[in-house]
Amino acid sequence: MLENAYLIMFYPLFAFVMIVFFTRWKEKLSSHLSIGMILLGFIHSVFVMIEMLARHGQSYEKAIPFLTLPNFSLELGIFLDPLTAVMLLVVTIVSSCVQIYSLGYMHGDPRFSRYFSYLSLFTFSMLGLVLANNFFMIFIFWELVGLTSYLLIGFWFEKKSASDAGKKAFITTRIGDLGFIVGILILTAFVGTLNYQQVFERVASGEVSATIVTLAGIFLFCGAVGKSAQFPLHVWLPDAMEGPTPVSALIHAATMVAAGVYMVARGMSLFAGSATASLVIASIGLITSFIAATIALTQNDIKRVLAYSTVSQLGYMIMALGLYGVDYAHGHHSAGYVAGTFHLMTHAFFKALLFLGAGSVIHAVHTNDIQEMGGLSKKMKITATTFFIASLSIAGIFPLSGFWSKDEIVASTQGHPVFMFFTLLIAFMTAFYMFRLCFLTFTGKPRHEEKYHHAHESPKSMTYPLMFLAFLSIFAGWVGLPWLHHGFSSFVFHEEVHHAGPQYILMIVSTIVAVSGIGLAYLVYYKKKISADVIAEKFKPIYTLLYNKYYFDELYDAIIIKPVLGLTNVLWWFDANIIDGLVNFSGWLTVKWADAKQLFDQYVVDGAVNGAGYLMMGLAWLFRYAQNGSLQFYTLIVAAGAIGIVIYKVTPEGFYYYLAGLLIMALSRLLVRSLRTERANSGAKYEG
């Protein structure tokens, strides 16, 4: 099955093509085709995982040449290893659940078929990114992921907020992608190949200088900063909630934001070659995780709370991977690689469940504001139960999936006390804001009677995926248990991961931290022993800062957007008034010059030519009467000429008077003849 694994990404592509060209008028057929193809991809992914287990994680690569140059070549190929196998399952499972869920959520939407075609293209892009065996291919699919996310975030483009969110996501991630391109160009110039294994081998052998490894690593990581919404490019992800909720689940759990973490994990052998690059990665991850967690404490939009939760958890993963690189570069063992990839897997399931659960709530009460909810567990038992399970999992409560992967992340911070402190603090905040969300949404008295009155449980097409994801949120993390042949770590990492300290102590500490966060949320929002309003008023400056998301959007608007807009206005004025003015003046001057040339040509050149013609015509008109065939006239001319010669000989002055007299006589005769001719013509006309 491994040699045919490339087919996994073509199943959803086939669905996309069929829907766009053949079935878009038949909504039911389009949706079933899309779901059928992703389920086929899931089945194929299961067989790939089975064969990978049988090979004990031994990698498989298949490629064909694409472009060959004297010192460089590009190829198209696939690379399969345990990380690939895990991500194939994650993407196909979450995509299947999202698409089945969408049958109920998007029912009645006028662009129903288009929606499923976009989902199929989105899944194809992510699967291609996962299967790629080189940085050239991963960049192609990287950009396709960005395009399809733009299409889905702005799917309801008639809403200005949705179209703006799509543009914001597209432009922000392109900024990170610029760094990604620079990193790829550095590898091309100094490593001479973009194939993963060849790059990693040359870095490990010391063929590439430490400076180049650091630069390439940092620039490649810029791509992950954009795609996985890391500080300072994290601002697009909360606004991406304007898209349909199933899209949010897919973006946050298994596709776009997972792409950045996957790329860092895939290129870990490169990043681990530079302690500096790895430290940058770990620091950015920690900063992102802390900022997002603090913002999530104060938000009231159910999807935005989950969005900032995603940003925080992605920061967790990036931090763990970075710490692995720091430790590896110094010759130490670390759980960071396993922690980051393990949490990427478990997070996909419980975060997809949380978003789909939020969608179920929004579908029922038609609002995103948790302050207008309350008491919904009585009317939405399946949604409430599964949402609480996902919240317990993300909080890291034993024995749910999130507990095992979070434990690995905490373990990865050993030897880094600052990172460990903030990791535990973030874990506390995560448990608090998630159960703040749970208690305000599902418990207590309804705070909006009309919305509560119309609330109802979602249809089975929406609740069945919730139950399946709840099962995975409980049990998926169990693959990390040591008794499963050393668990997830040995399968992905090919060796047992060594931790520096007693793991049971860390497990107990992290559990106490999580339970404390839940307990505080319970006292504040369920029992109401502590007033949230009093706390907010007491720490009003901090609360205002967090509620306004550290004013990042306002800051970017002030220092980037408005100056750029002002510059574009200046450039527009310069173009309209200076550049266009010069062009228009040149045009006006050319027209005037052409007019002058036309006048000169018409009155001078043509006048001279026409004047010569008129002169000849006049002379011909004059002399034609001398050629009348009358012998008497000729005799008269000869006589007049002879007389003129005699006069000239006698008195030259008199000769001129003689000529003038002859000319007057000739003209008079011509005039008389002309009048007679005209009178004769008039008489003939009258008689006729």
338-386 pLDDT tens trace:
899 999 999 999 999 999 999 999 989 989 999 999 999 999 999 999 9
Angle made by CA atoms 683, 686, 688, in degrees to the nearest 5: 110
What's the average model confidence in pLDDT over 534-558?
93
What is the pLDDT confidence band of residue 230, given thresholds at 50, 70 and 90? very high
Q: Can you give the pLDDT at residue 500?
A: 43
Using CB atoms within 10 Å of the CB of residue 38, give its burial: 0 to 12 exposed, 13 to 18 middle, 19+ buried. Answer: buried
Highest mean pLDDT among 54-63, 124-133, 451-460: 124-133
Read off the amino acid at residue 139: F
- Nearest Cα residue to 422 out of 520, 286, 518: 286
Q: Can you give the pLDDT at residue 658?
A: 79
What does the alpha-carbon distance between residue 26 and residue 286 come to, in Å, rounded to a whole number? 48
625 has a pLDDT exceeding 70: no
User: Could you read off the pLDDT of 33-67 as tens digits, one per residue?
Assistant: 999 999 999 999 999 999 998 888 889 999 999 88
Are 330 and 275 in contact by the 8 Å Cβ rule? The answer is: yes
Are 3 and 78 in contact by the 8 Å Cβ rule? The answer is: no
Q: Can you give the pLDDT at residue 487?
A: 54
What is the pLDDT confidence band of residue 622, given thresholds at 50, 70 and 90? low
CA 285 to chain centre: 22
Q: Can you give the pLDDT at residue 70?
A: 79
395 has a pLDDT exceeding 50: yes
Q: Can you give the pLDDT at residue 606?
A: 86
501 has a pLDDT exceeding 50: no
Torsion from C-alpha of 511, 517, 519, 523, nearest 10 degrees: 180
H helix or E strand, kind and range, residue 47? helix 27-54
What is the pLDDT confidence band of residue 30, given thresholds at 50, 70 and 90? very high
Q: Can you give the pLDDT at residue 454?
A: 84
Read off the amino acid at residue 417: P
Q: Can you give the pLDDT at residue 496?
A: 46
Answer whether the bond into residue 399 is a cis peptide, omega within 30°: yes
Q: What is the pTM of this model?
A: 0.83
What is the pLDDT confidence band of residue 495, given thresholds at 50, 70 and 90? very low
User: Could you read off the pLDDT of 146-183 as tens digits, one per residue?
Assistant: 999 999 999 999 989 999 999 999 999 999 999 999 99
Read off the amino acid at residue 679: R
Q: Write the DSSP string, 177-243.
A: HHHHHHHHHHHHHHTS--BHHHHHHHHHTT-S-HHHHHHHHHHHHHHHHHHTT-TTSTTHHHHGGGS
Name which residue leads in pLDDT, 177 or 628: 177
Can you state the percent helix, strand and coil of the chain, rounding each to 5?
80, 5, 15
Q: Write the DSSP string, 138-161.
A: HHHHHHHHHHHHHHHHTTTTTSHH
Beta strands in 494-648 (DSSP E): none
What does the alpha-carbon distance between residue 248 and residue 465 come to, in Å, rounded to a whole number? 15
CA count, 13 A, side-chain hemisphere, 656: 2
In eight-state DSSP terms, residue 447 is S
Find residue 77's DSSP bridge partners: 63
The phi and psi torsions of 209 (rounded to 5 degrees) equal: -65, 155
What's the average model confidence in pLDDT over 427-454?
92
Q: Can you give the pLDDT at residue 334?
A: 78
Q: Can you give the pLDDT at residue 491?
A: 61
Q: Can you give the pLDDT at residue 499?
A: 47
Q: How many CB atoms lie within 10 A of CB 676?
A: 10
Are 465 and 547 in contact by the 8 Å Cβ rule? The answer is: no
CA count, 13 A, side-chain hemisphere, 505: 5
What does the alpha-carbon distance between residue 228 and residue 236 come to, in Å, rounded to a whole number? 10
Name which residue leads in pLDDT, 2 or 21: 21
What does the alpha-carbon distance between residue 45 and residue 84 come to, in Å, rounded to a whole number? 10
Q: Which segment of 92-106, 131-145, 232-246, 619-633 scores lowest on mean pLDDT? A: 619-633
Cα–Cα distances in angstroms (integers) from residue 668 to residues 201, 634, 657, 660, 673, in the given order: 116, 18, 16, 12, 9
Q: Are strands 60-69 and 72-80 parallel, antiparallel or unpaired?
A: antiparallel
Name which residue leads in pLDDT, 254 or 132: 132
Q: Can you give the pLDDT at residue 489?
A: 59
Q: Which segment of 520-524, 590-594, 678-682 scores lowest on mean pLDDT? A: 678-682
Please give the mean pLDDT across all residues of the chain.
Answer: 89
What is the pLDDT confidence band of residue 524, given thresholds at 50, 70 and 90? very high
